[in-house]
Structure 1
């Protein structure tokens, strides 16, 4: 059973990760490349930005031997950058799929084709939409708070939102509904790390377009992940019976 669940998670992650990579290539990556043309205008180097695939893009300039200026390595535009993005997406997809599988086993709620889309929608709300209310997807050149503080807040928000969703699925008692509301709201009451008070070189309309494209892409990713995961689980269960 565990082997089948693991295999279903990996295959679903492969499918969802490839689809997300294709959408990103045409809808998201062009916005990132365009935003990078603004990045050197009045922005401090050495600041990290978290892209839609969860990886940090750093533009740090340091001095090498003899005082020469050395720019930190980043993938070259084109095939190399695309390949690294696809690899990062597949690894992230595998991680998220395994998290869904682990929650399914611990909560004794099987992921099936009938409820796979609901699992995907829940994953989107927990890992994408809820954190985005406090930390919107960021383009290069946009001011951002401390990276570690943002990561801690993101993890805390995802855990609280996930716990709330699981609580509502397991019981609909009034105390559970109240506890779920508190869990969802609490991270936003505490607030995400503050953004430095400095001008952004990225036009506002571009940042809005990027946030919408990123959330739309992740919504498709999660729905595909849940549906394929559930369908494969059903298929493997029938093969065992």
Structure 2
């Protein structure tokens, strides 16, 4: 079983990661480059800018594309292990997952790890003010966990009470509220920010649907081998 999970996650994650890297190279990286132009034009005021320590970032062009591809592949394999592990647990309970059903699992993954967190913390290009990193990470993890638990309670148990509890768990992160960014005005146009959000979510959706289909197909096929 472990070998089956490992091969499925490695192959599906690599393919989905490479696909996403291509999508980002064509659609998202150009938006990041545009946002950085606006970010570079923001004044830092007096000596504050001189004392500011710049975080390392890959240079635009081939270097950025290479690092993006590597990060996407690693993320793809990591998420593929989570998805394939869940598929394996479901298969042990008699639930057959193939490519078609894998797409549904991929849609669930997109909802858990991308769509639900984005409702409170939408993707943002460079130059857009955001809340503290630790606060965003905590809320993101809590929202993903709550969404996974809520969907699980809605889909798998047959008793209505569990589904009601699941619905309550789904909305809990938004009742608490996402961390707010400081009230500062950035120079990145609102249209560019909106375009970045849509492009990021679209890329994430394509990644998860492809990952789900590949994981379901490979896991099912390796089980028959």
TM-score by length of 2: 0.91
Q: Do structure 1's residue 229 and structure 2's residue 212 form an aligned pair? A: no
The alpha carbon displacement at 1:110 in A equals 5.0
Contact 1:43 1:200 in 2 (8 A): no
In structure 2, the CA distance between the partners of 1:135 and 1:103, relative to structure 1 (3 Å rule), is same
Q: Do structure 1's residue 197 and structure 2's residue 183 form an aligned pair? A: yes
Residue 80 (structure 2) aligns with: 97
Contact 1:62 1:72 in 2 (8 A): no
Q: Do structure 1's residue 84 and structure 2's residue 67 form an aligned pair? A: yes
In structure 2, the CA distance between the partners of 1:44 and 1:17, relative to structure 1 (3 Å rule), is farther
Q: Distance in 2 between matches of 1:195 and 1:43?
A: 19
Q: Distance in 1 between matches of 2:5 and 2:27?
A: 32
Contact 1:35 1:140 in 2 (8 A): yes
In structure 2, the CA distance between the partners of 1:179 and 1:106, relative to structure 1 (3 Å rule), is same
In structure 2, the CA distance between the partners of 1:86 and 1:44, relative to structure 1 (3 Å rule), is farther
Residue 15 (structure 2) aligns with: 15
Q: Distance in 1 between matches of 2:74 and 2:143?
A: 22
Residue 4 (structure 1) aligns with: 4
Contact 2:149 2:169 in 1 (8 A): yes
Q: Distance in 1 between matches of 2:17 and 2:201?
A: 15
Q: Which residue of 193, 206, 209 corresponds with 1:220?
A: 206
1:131-176 Cα deviation digits (max 9, x unpaired): 0000000110001000010000000000000111112221132111
Q: Distance in 1 between matches of 2:179 and 2:53?
A: 31
5+ unaligned residues in a row in structure 1: which ranges? 46-59, 64-68
Residue 52 (structure 1) aligns with: none
5+ unaligned residues in a row in structure 2: which ranges? none
Residue 135 (structure 2) aligns with: 149
Contact 1:143 1:200 in 2 (8 A): yes
The alpha carbon displacement at 1:70 in A equals 6.5
1:37-76 Cα deviation digits (max 9, x unpaired): 000333669xxxxxxxxxxxxxx9775xxxxx86443211
TM-score by length of 1: 0.85
In structure 2, the CA distance between the partners of 1:4 and 1:170, relative to structure 1 (3 Å rule), is same
Q: Do structure 1's residue 25 and structure 2's residue 11 form an aligned pair? A: no
CA RMSD of aligned residues (A): 2.0
* Runs of 4+ residues over 3 Å off in structure 1: 41-45, 60-63, 69-72, 105-111
Number of positions where the alignment pairs a residue of Structure 1 with one of Structure 2 = 220
In structure 2, the CA distance between the partners of 1:111 and 1:31, relative to structure 1 (3 Å rule), is same
